[in-house]
Structure 1
Amino acid sequence: MNLLTLQNVQNFDAYVFSKQPDYHEPTVRQEFAKAVPLRTVVVYCYDPRAVGVPAAVAREFDEVYPGEILTDEQGNKIASTTTLFEVIVAGGRAIDALRSITVAQHLFGIKNIVIVHHTHCGATSFTADGIVNAFQKEQGNDISTLYEQDSICISDFVTSLQHDTRLVRASKGTPHNVDIYGYVYNIDTDELSLVTQDKGAPVQIGA
Structure 2
Amino acid sequence: MSNFVEFTFRGQPGYSEPTAREVITSSIPVRTIAIYCFDPRAADAAQAVADYFGDEVYPGDLVLDEADRKIGSTATVFPLIVGGGRAADALRSITVSQHLFGIERVVVVHHSFCGATSFTAEGISAAWKHEHHTDISSLYDWDGISIADFEKSLNYDVSLIRNSPGTPKHIEIYGLFYDIGSGELTEVVRDVPAKVA
Q: Same fold (TM over 0.5)?
A: yes
Q: Which residue of 2 aligns with 1:182?
A: 175
Q: Which residue of 2 aligns with 1:157?
A: 150
Q: Which residue of 2 aligns with 1:57?
A: 49
**Contact 1:115 / 1:183 at 8 angstroms: preserved in 2?**
yes
Q: What is the deviation of 1:201?
A: 5.1
Q: Which blocks of at least 5 consecutive residues in structure 2 are unaligned?
A: none
Choose 1 or 2 for highest CA Rg: 1
Q: What is the deviation of 1:16?
A: 1.1
Partners of 1:108 and 1:35 lie apart in 2 by 9
Q: What is the deviation of 1:22?
A: 1.2
Q: Secondary structure at the match of 2:186?
A: strand
Partners of 2:107 and 2:192 lie apart in 1 by 12
Q: Which residue of 1 aligns with 2:59?
A: 66
**Residue 53 (structure 2) pairs with residue 47 (structure 1):** no
Partners of 1:80 and 1:20 lie apart in 2 by 21
Q: Which residue of 1 aligns with 2:15?
A: 23
1:48-84 deviation per Cα after TM superposition (whole angstroms, max 9, x unaligned): 0001111110001121111000111111001100000
**Residue 99 (structure 2) pairs with residue 121 (structure 1):** no
What is the aligned counterpart of 1:103 among 52, 76, 96?
Answer: 96
Q: How many residues align?
A: 196
**Contact 1:177 / 1:203 at 8 angstroms: preserved in 2?**
no
**Amino acid paired to 2:34:** V
**Contact 1:178 / 1:201 at 8 angstroms: preserved in 2?**
no
Q: What is the deviation of 1:23?
A: 1.1
Partners of 1:170 and 1:87 lie apart in 2 by 19
1:118-175 deviation per Cα after TM superposition (whole angstroms, max 9, x unaligned): 0000000000100011111110111111110101100110000000000000111101
Q: What is the deviation of 1:203?
A: 5.7
Q: What is the deviation of 1:21?
A: 3.5
What is the aligned counterpart of 1:173 among 163, 166, 169?
Answer: 166
Q: Secondary structure at the match of 1:113?
A: strand
Cα 1:146/1:203, change in 2 over 3 Å: farther
**Amino acid paired to 2:77:** L
**Residue 134 (structure 2) pairs with residue 141 (structure 1):** yes
Q: Which residue of 2 aligns with 1:79?
A: 72
**Amino acid paired to 1:101:** I
**Amino acid paired to 1:105:** Q
**Amino acid paired to 2:62:** I
Partners of 2:10 and 2:112 lie apart in 1 by 42
TM-score by length of 2: 0.96
**Residue 5 (structure 2) pairs with residue 13 (structure 1):** yes
**Amino-acid identity (%):** 52
Partners of 2:156 and 2:52 lie apart in 1 by 22
Q: What is the deviation of 1:197?
A: 1.0
Q: How much is the aligned-residue C-alpha RMSD, in angstroms? A: 1.2
Partners of 1:71 and 1:198 lie apart in 2 by 37
Hey, which bits of structure 1, 4+ residues long, moved more than 4 A?
none
